[in-house]
């Protein structure tokens, strides 16, 4: 037994808070530091200011317990690796700041660590590398320093740490290790470092620590569940430690819940928006931090539902704390700033600030709700719901009776104009029509977004520039991008997407059923943020969206210019979506709008149309049992969107962070003529998949990691292409970067593409210069 006597957990909390800054202050400070304009001290000062503002704001909103260590200069998984000294040898030869950013972004000649999506969100984390000899130790004091910093401001905080099991499960084995090694094997060696940290926090007088274990909501093996028991029995057995809150989120912990409940941790965090009221574990001795306010959407919480969940949990637990379902990292700061939004819509919405207020109000409602006279069994729960409380202040919750079911037919057979023929037939028609060389070189769509263009867009929005002025700037940029690609010798050109602020937002702005925000930024990775649109109504395309830009680009060159569209799954995945329709029906509505656009592009003479689905894997349910059904309808939606194209029109898709290796069958089922995937950054992991050899259509495994400022050498690119040529026939290999170029500078892009073309031309010599043929 532990000697710890925890002070009770306050009545309300949040699991985490946005950190980029309400005005993206951190983004600006980071980019200024990276460019050499700002100093490290300036960056630190911005960080300190943002942390202070957050703690003060949470206090002002009445929150009982504020988290700390939720701030990060780049990523909290990377912070954890650094904290426990899991820094690969090749990065050590530099200052701590340089090593940190080299792991995140690469540096002179040094590639960064892999980056991938954080569970089913659009946040990306840096994947730590753990080897058999990684020497874990408590090497930093970031969590302690933030506790002290908050305390100096008069705020007591609960440090948030990534839990040891999730940390190791998210890590990848260091290269060159023995086969069969998994980072989780190193748990016994990692735990002492966590112990030292907990002891140090206890010595600092910290009452509670939060250990995040979102990995518990995915399917876990017996061995992994045993690791959960081992970890938390051991940390729980420390005689000098803070009380422990282990937070699961993004779903239901299932079998991991009894495993966790069977350890001495004092509190367990449950996502009650996505997960169920626990029935399978004895929580009578535990505090349950009940996530009833969603950290994943922008809708007001229904107080009746939230309260009945809280009351049901109160029946089973020693104490209930009202909280968010997960960190608020995934929502913007403050909906009140969105003064351009239709007030009726705005009143249905809640961003981080509003969600904190909801948590506080729900805690008050819960405290005021008398305990029911008898235990609530699952069967009787419906009848024992408390009377509906009034809406939480500041807005209206979503209507309590859902709107009627969607009018979208549930067919899995895509409606089509002609219906597409089998690939072999299409490929022959396309080869004839396009006459491309072997190893055709192309890009993923966007070219660098210049400051001039961003300013022009802002000026257009503010009425300082008229439509014609803006249009001519965009046209000039298209002309420049086309000329550049011709000069560099690319085979399939793009118009560069200069008219797009963002690949989803742009379409949302042109489709009915969406609203866009002005300040609703959400961190995607590092300094990168997106402003997810709000999909709140039925989606329709009132008129063609991209056709005039494509037509103009096509008029400037004899080479094919790809039409560039965002796919239905990605448009939905990167938006905040209405919750009154099944997600599938919403995606099908968007697919129909995309199909209209595909047809119009084809009618305008566009011979190649790319429909990007980088988020295909992101929406994949975390539990295997639900994955096939999702993939089936996601593939249907894609085929529906592209089914209007004739055989001669070449359909491309692009998947970058989709971790295509994990869903290769679904990627195949999309039936796109050419698929481009991220590969450079993940060191060609996809190409090592046996299934790739059976991939029967065109494939471009990215040869240039565009998430790093580093320019790859031609020899390196050639090596990547040879790797592709070892598993695929030459006439199906495409040459392209990992992703769009919009975050890079023209200098970097020109140098990199020069090398890409050089490598392709060099190899082309080995594979005879002949038009692409089939069979």
Question: Known catalytic residues?
Answer: 707
- Three-class SS string for 237-280? CCCCCCEEEEECCCCCCCCHHHHHHCCCCCEEEEECCCCCCCCC
The piece of 296-304, 389-397, 505-513, 653-661 that touches Zn ion (CB under 5 A) is 653-661
Strands 674-677 and 698-701: what pairing? parallel
Q: How far is the CB of 739 from Zn ion (least distance, A)?
A: 3
Using the rule CB under 6 A, is 700 a contact of ligand MET? no
DSSP β-bridge partners for residue 321: 289
Q: How far is the CB of 548 from ligand MET (least distance, A)?
A: 18
Q: How far is the CB of 742 from ligand MET (least distance, A)?
A: 5
Nearer to Zn ion, 146 or 748 (CB): 748
- Selected from 316, 742, 744, 764, the binder of ligand MET by CB under 6 A is 742
The piece of 12-20, 112-120, 201-209, 736-744 that touches ligand MET (CB under 6 A) is 736-744
Q: Closest Cα partner for 352 from 324, 319, 372, 313?
A: 324
Using the rule CB under 6 A, is 481 a contact of ligand MET? no
Using the rule CB under 6 A, is 446 a contact of ligand MET? yes
Using the rule CB under 6 A, is 29 a contact of ligand MET? no
Using the rule CB under 5 A, is 706 a contact of Zn ion? no
- Selected from 297, 600, 612, 738, the binder of ligand MET by CB under 6 A is 612
| Length of the chain (residues) | 775
Using the rule CB under 6 A, is 564 a contact of ligand MET? yes
Using the rule CB under 5 A, is 438 a contact of Zn ion? no
Q: How far is the CB of 656 from ligand MET (least distance, A)?
A: 5
Nearer to ligand MET, 522 or 564 (CB): 564
- Selected from 281, 444, 490, 607, the binder of ligand MET by CB under 6 A is 444
**Residue 445 contacts which entry, Zn ion, ligand MET, none (Cβ below 5-8 A, type-dependent):** ligand MET
- The number of angstroms, rounded, from the C-alpha of 23 to the middle of its chain's C-alpha atoms is 21
Nearer to Zn ion, 397 or 614 (CB): 614
Contact track, Zn ion, 68-107, x by CB under 5 A:
----------------------------------------
Q: Tell me which residues in 619-678 interact with ligand MET (CB under 6 A).
A: 654, 656
- The number of angstroms, rounded, from the C-alpha of 172 to the middle of its chain's C-alpha atoms is 19
The piece of 211-219, 454-462, 609-617, 690-698 that touches Zn ion (CB under 5 A) is 609-617
Query: For residues 283 and 268, is the Cβ–Cβ distance under 8 A?
Result: yes
Using the rule CB under 5 A, is 739 a contact of Zn ion? yes
The piece of 189-197, 220-228, 265-273, 439-447 that touches ligand MET (CB under 6 A) is 439-447
Nearer to ligand MET, 131 or 740 (CB): 740
Let me know if 758 is exposed, middle or buried by CB neighbors in 10 A (0-12, 13-18, 19+).
middle
**Residue 330 contacts which entry, Zn ion, ligand MET, none (Cβ below 5-8 A, type-dependent):** none
Q: How far is the CB of 507 from ligand MET (least distance, A)?
A: 11
Using the rule CB under 6 A, is 445 a contact of ligand MET? yes
Q: How far is the CB of 524 from ligand MET (least distance, A)?
A: 10
Show the DSSP H helices in 620-673 as ranges. 627-642, 664-669
Q: Is 7 helix (H, G, I), strand (E, B) or coil?
A: coil
Q: How far is the CB of 404 from ligand MET (least distance, A)?
A: 35
- Selected from 58, 168, 329, 503, the binder of ligand MET by CB under 6 A is 503
Using the rule CB under 6 A, is 740 a contact of ligand MET? yes
Using the rule CB under 5 A, is 615 a contact of Zn ion? no
Query: For residues 30 and 527, is the Cβ–Cβ distance under 8 A?
Result: yes
DSSP β-bridge partners for residue 116: 125
Nearer to ligand MET, 149 or 612 (CB): 612
CB closest to Zn ion, residue no: 656
What is the C-alpha to C-alpha distance for residues 200 and 146, in angstroms, rounded to an integer? 13
Q: Which DSSP symbol is given to 441?
A: B
Q: How far is the CB of 494 from ligand MET (least distance, A)?
A: 8
Half-sphere exposure of 499 (CA within 13 A, CB side): 26
Q: Which DSSP symbol is given to 605?
A: T
The tokens 């895509």 sit on which residue?
414
Nearer to ligand MET, 206 or 503 (CB): 503
Helix (H) or strand (E) holding 469: helix 467-488
Nearest 5°: the CA angle 506, 573, 395 is 85
Torsion of CA 444, 449, 454, 456, to 10 degrees: -90
The piece of 376-384, 568-576, 652-660, 680-688 that touches Zn ion (CB under 5 A) is 652-660
The piece of 538-546, 555-563, 607-615, 719-727 that touches Zn ion (CB under 5 A) is 607-615
Q: Closest Cα partner for 253 from 281, 229, 232?
A: 281
CB closest to ligand MET, residue no: 740
- Selected from 332, 448, 554, 614, the binder of Zn ion by CB under 5 A is 614
The piece of 400-408, 438-446, 571-579, 628-636 that touches ligand MET (CB under 6 A) is 438-446
Query: For residues 441 and 733, is the Cβ–Cβ distance under 8 A?
Result: no
What is the C-alpha to C-alpha distance for residues 142 and 279, in angstroms, rounded to an integer? 37
Q: Is 709 helix (H, G, I), strand (E, B) or coil?
A: coil
Q: How far is the CB of 145 from ligand MET (least distance, A)?
A: 35
Using the rule CB under 6 A, is 739 a contact of ligand MET? yes
Let me know if 688 is exposed, middle or buried by CB neighbors in 10 A (0-12, 13-18, 19+).
exposed
CB atoms within 10 A of CB 442: 25
The piece of 58-66, 387-395, 575-583, 739-747 that touches ligand MET (CB under 6 A) is 739-747
Query: For residues 503 and 612, is the Cβ–Cβ distance under 8 A?
Result: yes
The tokens 């609960």 sit on which residue?
158
Provide the angle, in degrees to the nearest 10, between the axes of the packed helices 467-488 and 746-766: 40
Phi, psi of 520 (to 5 degrees): -80, 60
The piece of 1-9, 440-448, 685-693, 715-723 that touches ligand MET (CB under 6 A) is 440-448
Using the rule CB under 5 A, is 656 a contact of Zn ion? yes
**Residue 348 contacts which entry, Zn ion, ligand MET, none (Cβ below 5-8 A, type-dependent):** none
What is the C-alpha to C-alpha distance for residues 368 and 364, in angstroms, rounded to an integer? 6
- Selected from 614, 698, 702, 712, the binder of ligand MET by CB under 6 A is 614
Using the rule CB under 5 A, is 666 a contact of Zn ion? no
b/e burial code for range 103-139 (CB count within 10 A of at least 16 → b):
bbbbbeebbbbbbbbbbbbbbbbbbbbbbeebebebe
Using the rule CB under 6 A, is 504 a contact of ligand MET? no
Helix (H) or strand (E) holding 654: strand 650-654
- Three-class SS string for 103-162? HHHCECCECCCCEEECCCCCCEEECCEECCCCCCCCCCCHHHHHHHHHHHCCCCEEEEEE
Q: How far is the CB of 564 from ligand MET (least distance, A)?
A: 5
Q: How far is the CB of 490 from Zn ion (least distance, A)?
A: 17
The tokens 């299932």 sit on which residue?
254
Nearer to Zn ion, 124 or 426 (CB): 124
**Residue 503 contacts which entry, ligand MET, Zn ion, none (Cβ below 5-8 A, type-dependent):** ligand MET
| Contacts with Zn ion, residue ranges (CB under 5 A) | 614, 656, 739
| Contacts with ligand MET, residue ranges (CB under 6 A) | 444-446, 503, 564, 612, 614, 654, 656, 739-740, 742
């Amino acid at each position: 037994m532990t000697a710890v006597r925890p002070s009770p957990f306050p009545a309300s909390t949040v699991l985490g808070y946005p950190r980029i800054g309400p005005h993206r202050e951190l983004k600006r400070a980071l980019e200024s530091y990276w460019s050499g304009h700002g100093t490290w001290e300036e960056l630190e000062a911005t960080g300190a200011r943002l942390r202070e503002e957050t703690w003060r704001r949470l206090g002002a909103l009445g929150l009982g317990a504020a988290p700390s260590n939720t701030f990060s200069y780049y990523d909290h998984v990377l912070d954890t690796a650094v904290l426990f000294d899991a820094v690969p040898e090749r990065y050590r030869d530099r200052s701590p700041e340089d090593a940190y950013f080299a792991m995140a972004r690469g540096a002179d000649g040094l590639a960064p660590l892999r980056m991938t999506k954080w569970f089913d969100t659009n946040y990306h984390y840096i994947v730590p590398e753990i080897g058999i000899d990684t020497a874990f130790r408590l090497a930093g004091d970031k969590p302690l320093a933030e506790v002290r910093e908050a305390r100096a401001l008069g705020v007591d905080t609960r440090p948030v740490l990534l839990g040891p099991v999730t940390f190791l499960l998210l890590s990848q084995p260091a290269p060159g290790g023995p086969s069969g090694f998994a980072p989780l094997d190193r748990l016994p060696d990692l735990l002492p470092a966590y112990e030292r940290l907990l002891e140090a926090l206890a010595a600092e007088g910290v009452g509670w620590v939060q250990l995040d274990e979102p990995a518990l909501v995915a399917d876990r093996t017996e061995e992994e569940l045993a690791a959960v028991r081992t970890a938390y029995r051991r940390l729980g057995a420390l005689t000098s430690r803070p009380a422990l809150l282990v937070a699961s989120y993004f779903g239901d912990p299932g079998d991991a819940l009894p495993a966790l409940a069977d350890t001495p941790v004092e509190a367990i965090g449950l996502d009650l928006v996505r997960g169920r009221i626990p029935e399978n574990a004895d929580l009578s001795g535990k505090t349950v931090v009940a996530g009833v306010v969603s950290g994943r959407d922008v809708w007001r919480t229904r107080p009746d539902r939230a309260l009945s969940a809280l009351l049901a949990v109160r029946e089973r637990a020693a104490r209930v704390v009202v909280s968010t379902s997960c960190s608020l990292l995934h929502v913007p700061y403050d909906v009140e700033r969105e003064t351009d939004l239709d007030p009726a819509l705005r009143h249905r919405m809640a961003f981080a600030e509003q969600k904190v207020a909801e948590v506080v109000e729900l805690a008050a409602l819960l405290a005021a709700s008398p305990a029911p006279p008898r235990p609530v069994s699952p069967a009787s729960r419906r009848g024992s719901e408390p009377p509906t409380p009034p809406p939480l202040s500041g807005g209206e919750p979503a209507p309590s009776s859902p709107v009627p079911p969607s009018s979208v037919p549930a067919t899995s057979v895509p409606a089509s104009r002609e219906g597409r023929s089998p690939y072999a037939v299409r490929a022959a028609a396309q080869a004839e029509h396009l006459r491309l060389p072997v190893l055709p070189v192309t890009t993923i769509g966007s070219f660098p977004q210049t400051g001039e263009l961003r300013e022009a867009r802002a000026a257009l929005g503010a009425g300082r520039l008229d439509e014609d002025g803006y249009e001519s700037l965009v046209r000039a940029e298209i002309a420049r991008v086309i000329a550049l690609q011709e000069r560099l010798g690319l085979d399939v050109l793009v118009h560069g997407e200069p008219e797009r602020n963002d690949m989803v937002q742009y379409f949302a702005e042109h489709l009915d059923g969406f609203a866009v925000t002005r300040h609703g930024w959400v961190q995607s990775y590092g300094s990168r943020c997106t402003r997810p649109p709000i999909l709140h109504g039925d989606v329709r395309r009132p008129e063609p969206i991209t056709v005039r830009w494509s037509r103009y680009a096509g008029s400037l060159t004899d080479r094919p210019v790809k039409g560039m569209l965002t796919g239905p799954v990605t448009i939905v995945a990167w938006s905040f979506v209405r919750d009154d329709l099944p997600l599938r029906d919403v995606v099908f509505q968007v697919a129909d709008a995309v199909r209209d656009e595909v047809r119009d592009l084809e009618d305008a003479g566009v011979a190649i149309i790319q429909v990007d689905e980088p988020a295909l894997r992101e929406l994949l349910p975390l539990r295997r049992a639900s994955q096939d059904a999702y993939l089936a309808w996601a593939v249907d939606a894609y085929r529906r969107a592209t089914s209007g194209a004739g055989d001669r029109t070449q359909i491309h898709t692009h998947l970058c962070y989709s971790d295509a290796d994990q869903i290769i069958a679904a990627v195949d089922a999309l039936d796109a003529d050419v698929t481009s995937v991220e590969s450079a950054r993940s060191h060609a992991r996809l190409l090592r998949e046996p299934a790739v050899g059976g991939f029967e259509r065109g494939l471009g495994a990215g040869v240039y990691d565009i998430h790093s400022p580093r320019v790859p050498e031609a020899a390196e690119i050639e090596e990547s292409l040879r790797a592709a040529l070892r598993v695929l026939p030459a006439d199906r290999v495409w040459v392209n970067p990992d992703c769009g170029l919009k975050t890079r500078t023209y200098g970097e892009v020109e140098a990199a593409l020069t090398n890409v073309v050089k490598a392709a031309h060099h190899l082309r010599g080995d594979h005879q210069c002949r038009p692409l043929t089939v069979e």
